Amino acid sequence: MSMRRVAVVGAGMTKFVRRSQETGRELSWEAVSKALESCEMSLDQMDCVVMGSAPDAFDGVHMKAEWLSDGAGAWGKPYMRGYVGGGTGVFAPAQGWYHIASGLFDTCLVVCEERMSPTQPHPQAAFNSIFDNFTERALGPNLLWIFALEMNAYMNRYGLKKEDIALVSVKNKRNAADHPASLLGDPNITVQDVLNSEVLAWPVQRLDVSPITDGAVALVLAAEPVARRVTPKPVWIEGVGWCLDTAYWTNRDLSYPTYVEEAARMAYKMAGIKEPRKEIHIAEPYDPFDYKELHHLEGLMLFGKGQAPEATARGVTQRTGDLPVCPSGGLLGVGNPIAAAGLMKIAELFWQLRGEAGKRQVPGDPRRGVAQAWGDLMQVGTVVVMGK
Amino acid sequence: MSLLNNLEHPTDARIWRGDLPVYHRYTAGVAGEKFLRALKDQGAVYGTRCPTCGYVYVPARLYCERDATHLDDSTWAPVGPAGALVSFSAVWVDLDGKRLDAPQWVGLVRLKGASSVLMHYLQTPTGALHAGMTVQAVLKPANERVGSITDIAYFKPL
Ligand SMILES: [Zn+2]
């Protein structure tokens, strides 16, 4: 297979907020402007555009990629939407990658947008129709049922306590205090705060969960010759992978995300990674819930099954630890505008690997990172490996 | 971003209300229809066993997602009514995020003979629940069954 090398050369994002006055199109435009400005390129230098956005129901606009297209800079260009639910933010850059790796285009603008605040009375209701019509919807489920049942299965399998898992939320919310775009950064939060927060569906409590958020993120991708002209510090997309498990979420192994492992294997193979724990220096796994970071670290094969909590307790995943995890602050801290949250992780790797992450900078000249997202009917894994 | 970039209340910015004025009529499908009729008329929970890979789907399905095999009438067999509890939760909020007065207990159950897992209500437990314990489907009386998954009232710990 002959594929061209593709680099990220620019990134930009809006602030992540609880409720933006800006429309989704305006948020998209703001992220695009910042991304173009960061690499001193203009919209007419973008050959094509990929838009990632999750359920239409959040914005309340059917076929919302078409609606968002003007803000995303798609006027007069080849344009497509990436949509694998929560996995979208890490899938959209993979789509951008193959637009260029294939030789079809030299540059690609990748934009991810989400506004959850329009959905009333609660965005959760927009998920009602993801449940199987005749086996589940009659029970009147909400999304928390899935996460509570999965978290409990994970805790039960490995004998974990709530305290073991709350450490993730504390780490990420503290990390996010150093992110200028964050919604929920908190330098002083403690495990006790998490344990004292409102029980939503046992074992899930309020501070185990990422917040409802509005925001947008954009990246500029370029083929090698263009990338080398544009910047002395291109960050290469070295591997991409994605995989789907059964759409019947109850039938998955709820204590181990096999589909993430499969997606990671695909990406690692492409990147030539044989020992991920040694060859990856930063991880940005998907953390809409604190237990999911642990779950996903294991699926990414960065820790053995059931061993991510213990590594977290030892400080391995702190920003100054041996394997910094979610140095951005993740979804738990920066916020969770679904598709935009995943692309924020790619932007974070871009800034970290260029040494441009400011107060969040991981020490020790990190050379390679992995980002991952999770979504669809809670059964898709999307993975991107980046290196300099 | 604008000064209003972190609005405290939805009405701080000029808004208008809108909805998507449609509703839907879903069918249970070929296998689903037969499954629900059996639940209503016989009080039995049916699965289908894939002759190619051996996976037993509950509720019964028309095809196997793993190998695309047609699961015809010969593959239908009743399962349960007892099964193993895979996971459970006490849910404290409703679909709109509003707090419930008392928790709603839900669980995942792998019925005896099934490979797949069913989500359903659990009877409010009097003792501690644990994964792997045996639970049993409690059906509504025949004259109250309508052909819905809720014809199983709940699962009770044994
Ligand atoms: Zn089969």
CA of A19 to the centre of ligand 1 (A): 47
Residue B74, min C-alpha distance to chain A (Å)? 23
pLDDT in tens, A350-363: 999 999 999 999 99
- Does residue B8 fall inside a structural domain? no
Ligand 1 center from residue B70 Cα (angstroms): 9
Residue B3 has pLDDT above 80, yes or no: no
Chain B interface disruption, residue of A17, A19, A214, A378, most B CBs within 10 A: A19
Whether residue A34 contacts residue A218, with contact meaning beta carbons closer than 8 Å, is answered with: yes
Given a cut of 70, whether residue A1 has pLDDT beyond it is no
Q: Average pLDDT of A192-204?
A: 97
In a domain, B6, yes or no: no
Quick one: pLDDT at residue A143?
A: 87
Cα–Cα distance measured from residue A292 to residue A381, given in angstroms and rounded to the nearest whole number = 12
Mean pLDDT score across all residues of chain B:
92
State the best of A22, A23, A64, A135 to mutate against chain B, taking most chain B CBs within 10 Å: A135
- Tell me how far the alpha carbon of residue A110 lies from the centroid of ligand 1, in angstroms: 39
> Six-digit token pair at A311?
């590594």
Residue range B109-124, pLDDT digits in tens = 999 999 999 999 999 9
ipTM above 0.90, yes or no: no
Q: What is the pLDDT of residues A154-181, one digit of tens each?
A: 999 999 999 999 999 999 999 999 999 9
Alpha-carbon gap, residue A295 to A89, rounded angstroms: 19
Higher-pLDDT residue of A189 and A127 is A189
Does any domain span residue B151? yes
- The strand pair at A368-375 and A282-284 is best described as parallel
pLDDT tens digits along B57-70? 999 999 999 999 99
Q: Which residue of A has its CA nearest to B146?
A: A138
* Domain tally, chain B: 1
User: Does B17 reside within a domain?
Assistant: no
Give the residue, A219 or A57, on which the prediction is more confident.
A219
- Chain A, nearest residue to B105 by Cα: A201
Structure confidence at residue B20 (pLDDT) = 75
Task: Tell me whether residue B106 is in a domain.
Answer: yes
- pLDDT of B2 reads 59
Per-residue pLDDT tens over the stretch A71-96: 999 999 999 998 999 999 999 999 99
- Checking if the pLDDT of A331 tops 90, the result is yes
Q: Is residue B5 part of a domain?
A: no
Q: Report the pLDDT averaged over residues B44-68.
A: 97
CB contact under 8 A, A201 and B150: no
> Looking at the DSSP assignment, which residues form a beta bridge with residue A372?
A383
Query: What's the pLDDT score for residue A32?
Result: 98
Residue B53 CA, ligand 1 centroid: distance in Å:
4
Record: contact A202-B89, CB cut-off 8 A: yes
Question: Is position B11 within any domain?
Answer: no
Residue type, A310: E
Which residues from B are below 8 Å from A136, CB to CB?
A: 119, 149
Res B98 pLDDT > 90: no
Q: How confident is the model at residue B9 (pLDDT cuts 50, 70, 90)?
A: confident
pLDDT of A368 reads: 98
Task: Name A112's bridge partners.
Answer: A52, A217
Alpha-carbon distance values, A75 to A40, A46, A61, A80, A367 (Å): 20, 11, 19, 12, 36
Q: What pLDDT was estimated at residue B19? A: 78
In angstroms, the separation between the Cα of residue A126 and the nearest Cα of chain B is 10
pLDDT averaged over every residue in chain A: 96
Q: Which residue of A has its CA nearest to B5?
A: A20
Mean pLDDT, residues A314-333: 98
**CA neighbor of B36 nearest in space, from A302, A143, A4, A135:** A135
| Residue B1 confidence (pLDDT) above 60 | no
CATH topology of domain A6-122+211-387: Peroxisomal Thiolase; Chain A, domain 1 (3.40.47)
**Does the pLDDT of residue B4 top 60, yes or no?**
no
pLDDT at A124: 80
Q: Which domain holds residue B40?
A: 25-157
Residues paired with residue B56 on neighbouring β-strands, in sequence order: B49
Is B40 domain-assigned?
A: yes
Q: Per-residue confidence at A5, pLDDT binned at 50, 70, 90?
A: very high
| Tens-digit pLDDT profile for residues A241-253 | 999 999 999 999 9
pLDDT at B95: 78
- The count of other CB atoms within 10 Å of the CB of residue A121 is 10
Place of tokens 């990406």: A267
CB distance A156–B131 less than 8 Å?
A: yes
* Pairing assessment for the beta strands A235-244 and A214-223 based on DSSP bridges: unpaired
Say what the pLDDT of residue A131 is. Answer: 87
Q: Judge whether residue A39 has pLDDT over 60.
A: yes
Tell me the HSE value of A197 on the side-chain side, using a 13 A CA sphere: 20
Q: How far apart are the first and last CA of chain A?
A: 22
pLDDT of res. B6? 64
Task: Specify the pLDDT at position B5.
Answer: 60
Starting at the edge strand found earlier in the chain, the sheet holding A79-82 runs A79-82, A48-52, A107-115, A214-223, A6-13, A235-244, A380-387, A368-375, A282-284
